[in-house]
Amino acid sequence: MTDLTAPRTITRSYLRYRDDLERPRPDEDRDIDRIIAVLRSNNERAYRKHKHGLRDAHAKSHGILRGELTVHPGLPPELAQGLFATPATYPVVARLSSTSGVIRSDQLRGVRGLGIKVLGVDGPRALPGDEATTQDFIMVTHREFLFADAHAYYTRGMPTAWVLARLPDPALHTGSTVLSALDAHVLRRIGLPLPPNLGVFVRPNTHILGETFYSSAPLRYGDYIAKILYTPVSPEVSALTGQPVDHDAGINAHQDMIVDFFACHSAEYELRVQLCTDLDTMPIEDATVEWPEADSPHRTVATVRFDRQDPYTPQRRAFGDDVLSFNSWRGLQAHRPLGSINRLKQRVYEASSNYRHNVNNAPRLEPTPDQLPQ
């Protein structure tokens, strides 16, 4: 006789990583070449304006944090992979940013970014010739990427990026306000959502420390494939989730709020992993598809902790903006980024970093813990 009161145990089968899972379009390299050329023109335009090289994305930082990542003990085998295979604590440096390639007011809505660099990570590297001992994770506040692949980014994303790079803040603020009103009072009433690449400009502008960040595109996770998120868990920082940015907080509101918070509080976040179970519902090459939580929920593998500190001293800002580079391909072979958007990022981020360090005559290094400014 079956005991109907006994808890059900769900057994999931996770897709194993194979080298032949990716399926690039035959014109992908050509599309990426064209994207790099457009973004280089944006880099050069920014340099003429600021007399300083900027990133072509994530140009404005809001805080540079020192912390620790602790891998949890007792993880099940499918989660105990790569960096997370063995319980350990690693130093980290994190850079919080807005994803625009233009230095803009923090009063503008948009996507926020997070780069985490884990230090002292040994093991075979994702890229040949990489001798660093760091693992980079790059995440944003949009769960899925706005474009499926490099071709979609070139044909639909680049025209938008070109225009946005040239719009002044007041015009962008007006456009965002109009879009928000159109979405709330017209489109929702007739069941028509805004396109995702416009929807990011109507999402609420909230405290960056309360945000959840997503890898958006998949990566190898040892023997498996995964997406990763980073979410606040300690009470003080969780209380900031959804907290609106005050309209009177100024053009550097996020920087000021981060500095004020860490003057008094520490913060803890969790890294959670969602493993791929099925390529049809969890594709690698289409980064716009939401992977169903019902098929594979995110599960915690590590805690990231930041103690009280000053996150934006002049030394930290210079180090985080001019010296450090973040590239998700800089890491272990066990966490090699996957899919077209990640292949695009590999080349775009490298080209941008090379240009920025060259025009700024800035050293380029992968840091050790003693090189991070206090």
pLDDT at residue 184 in the model: 76
Which segments of the chain does DSSP mark as H helices, in order? 28-50, 150-152, 158-164, 169-182, 196-199, 235-238, 253-264, 314-318, 340-360
Helix (H, G, I), strand (E, B) or coil at 58: coil
128 by Cβ neighbours in 10 Å (0-12 / 13-18 / 19+) ranks as: exposed
pLDDT at residue 82 in the model: 98
pLDDT at residue 10 in the model: 62
Give pLDDT < 70 ranges for the chain.
Answer: 1-11
Return d(Cα 286, Cα 263) in angstroms, integer.
41
Picking from 65, 342, 103, 132, the residue whose alpha carbon sits closest to that of residue 228 is: 342
pLDDT at residue 204 in the model: 85
Tell me the Ramachandran region of residue 339: left when phi exceeds 0, alpha when psi lies from -120 to 50, beta otherwise. left
pLDDT at residue 4 in the model: 47
Strand partners, 268: 305
pLDDT in tens, 37-67: 988 888 888 888 888 888 878 889 999 999 9
* pTM given for the model: 0.91
Q: What's the distance, CA 176 to chain centroid? A: 22
Return d(Cα 323, Cα 168) in angstroms, integer.
28
- Encoded amino acid at 215, one letter: S
Structure tokens of 265? 């509080």
Picking from 277, 368, 292, 356, the residue whose alpha carbon sits closest to that of residue 323 is: 356
Write the DSSP string, 210-255.
Answer: G--EE--S-EEETTEEEEEEEEE-SHHHHTTTTPBPPTTS-TTHHH
Return d(Cα 54, Cα 46) in angstroms, integer.
7
